[in-house]
Amino acid sequence: MSIIKQLQSQLRKKERSAVEITEEYLGRIEELEPKLKSFLCVTREEALATARQVDEKIARGEDIPPLAGIPIAVKDNIVTKGIPTTCASRILENFVPCYDSTVTQKLKDQLAVIVGKTNLDEFAMGSSTENSAYGRTQNPWDTERVPGGSSGGSAAAVAAGECVVALGSDTGGSIRQPASFCGVVGLKPTYGLVSRFGLVAYASSLDQIGPFGRTVEDTAILLQAIAGHDPHDSTSLKVEVPDYTQYCTTDLKGLKVGIITETLSSGLDSQVADRVTQAVKELEKLGAEIKEVSCPRFRYGLPTYYIIAPSEASANLARYDGVKYGLREEADNLLEMYTKTRAKGFGAEVKRRIMLGTYALSAGYYDAYYLKAQKVRTLIRQDFDNAFTQADVLVCPTSPTTAFKAGEKTANPLSMYLSDLMTIPVNLAGLPAMSIPCGFDHQNLPVGMQLIGNVLREDLLFRVGYAYQQVTDWHTHTPRL
């Protein structure tokens, strides 16, 4: 059952107060943080103040919104008024925004209890949360391993029970891959369904904010709270937001599920392949019709992404120059100030991607790299369009492997980039996709199955994911900490 609905029921019946629930989660954060490092900032006072507001509302006999009193964590590249927003970078070490992002304002309007800001790869550039300037987050299932990235802090916090749900951002798999590594549900919505106003930009045509939860129903409730048109975001879609929980049903009869054949080839861990295959058999038992579909250009997603995303990043990160906010290094002239500030403020991976992007956009290389990548992006989208004529939902592993050991891939950027092999094409096509836990490998590390929908078909993802969770118990397993 939905944890959010359980807690809300207890609040409404006055079995527990919002302050008691908040204290419980803050206590867990206090207990686990020295080991996990999921959070960069814990907002104890603000959280308890909101919880008291919820209790006062209930005492007056007023109805409360669906997320009222629910402890939630927010990735630290999402702007929060009066609370530090660092993007896990030295260049924004002391930055405290004077406004809220659209999503955090929506959470506050519902009286959700924001317990803190979570760790990430610096500026969301990474697949392991090892690129954070403030230390890496540990995977709750095995603290010698990474939680995935870049939203590793949010995924680890939900898995460890430090919050009920959390927000992350996904540019090439940064919600789904950590969800897979940490054994939780993570959803990347359709591009434009959730406002990006107040999300610190990495690659603007790919970035999307989305929810983490232990259950599919919890992610549905959180998505409903943050989705919808926003005039502050020019890429925001003008669409009606349905009640996503109405799609949490157990009937999959007549639904066509397509397995992407290209994702089950070499390079995939045999145990991951086995768990995903077993999960697909469960979907078949629930009434889904299983078929194989081909996306021939799927494998070109990785090289395409690593031209487009760094190109957009090189433009987006030009604003961090030491002039208006963030770190400023003293210098004798403006150019020297820029150089010193950016050299000290940015970490190695951010510098690498800025240089990659600047190169791809430079005179003489634009057509050969960036323009060609955009054309391949269109072909990848066409492959998905073709696949959706044969199936309603597509399925593949979320990541080729389970969580790897910290330090295992830091010396080889290409090996690290391959962690997002299965997730990147979805961002290039702007589609919604969800990772749900579907088992464990022999080392008791979680395995994730990725469900991919057509544009604005989150309803089908919730339908398939919810039905699967009703006949399996993978999502109920918790790490021993």
Residue 330 exposed, middle or buried by CB count within 10 Å (0-12, 13-18, 19+):
exposed
**Count of CB atoms situated within 10 Å of the CB of 375:** 10
Residue tagged active-site, from 75, 117, 188, 409: 75
Give yes or no: 294 in active site. no
Structure token pair of residue 353: 């991607």
Position 481, amino acid: L
Catalytic residue of the set 101, 154, 174, 236: 174
- Order across the sheet with 256-260: list the strands: 39-42, 113-118, 71-75, 165-170, 208-213, 185-188, 433-440, 446-453, 393-397, 256-260, 289-293
Asked if 75 is an active-site residue, the reply is yes
117 neighbors 80 (Cβ within 8 angstroms): yes
Angle between helical axes of 270-285 and 458-471 (0-180°, round to 10): 90
Q: From the candidates 150, 180, 314, 435, give the one annotated as an active-site residue.
A: 150
Planar angle of CA 227, 4, 51, nearest 5 degrees = 95
Residue 151 annotated in active site: no
Distance of CA 342 to the CA centre of its chain: 27
Burial class (CB in 10 A: 0-12, 13-18, 19+), 364: exposed
Give bridge partners of residue 116 from the DSSP assignment. 42, 73
Closest CA to 454 of 398, 390, 385, 396: 385
- Which residues are the active-site residues? 75, 150, 174
